[in-house]
Chain A
Amino acid sequence: LAKTTQPISMDSYEGQEVNITCSHNNIATNDYITWYQQFPSQGPRFIIQGYKTKVTNEVASLFIPADRKSSTLSLPRVSLSDTAVYYCLVATPNRDDKIIFGKGTRLHILP
Chain B
Amino acid sequence: GAGVSQTPSNKVTEKGKYVELRCDPISGHTALYWYRQSLGQGPEFLIYFQGTGAADDSGLPNDRFFAVRPEGSVSTLKIQRTERGDSAVYLCASRRQKGAEAFFGQGTRLTVV
Interface residues of A (CB under 8 A from B): 32, 34, 41-46, 49, 85, 87, 91, 93-95, 97-104
Q: Which residues of A contact B93 (CB under 8 A)?
A: 43-44, 99
Please, could you name 29 A-B residue pairs with CB atoms under 8 Å apart, sorted by A?
A32-B99, A41-B106, A41-B107, A43-B91, A43-B92, A43-B107, A44-B93, A44-B102, A44-B104, A46-B101, A46-B102, A46-B103, A49-B101, A85-B42, A87-B42, A91-B99, A93-B99, A94-B99, A97-B31, A97-B48, A97-B50, A97-B56, A97-B98, A98-B56, A99-B33, A99-B45, A99-B93, A99-B102, A100-B45
Contacting pair A104 B106 (CB below 8 A): no
The reply to whether the CB of B105 lies closer than 8 angstroms to some CB of chain A is yes
Interface residues on B, range: 20 to 34
Assembly CA distance A28 to B21 (angstroms): 36
Least CB distance, B39 to chain A, in whole angstroms: 10
Of chain A, the residue at the smallest CB distance from B55 is A97
Residues of A near B101 (CB, < 8 A) are 34, 46, 49
- Nearest Cβ in chain B — how far from A100, in angstroms? 6
Query: Contacts A43-B105, A43-B107, A45-B104: A101 and B98 contacting too (C-beta < 8 A)?
Result: no
Q: Which of chain B's residues has its CB closest to A102's CB? A: B42
* Closest partner residue, chain B, to A44 (CB atom): B104
Q: Type the 1/0 row for B23-45, where 1 means its CB is closer than 8 Å to any CB of A.
A: 00000000101010000011111
In the assembled complex, the CB of B44 is this many whole angstroms from the nearest CB of chain A, namely: 8
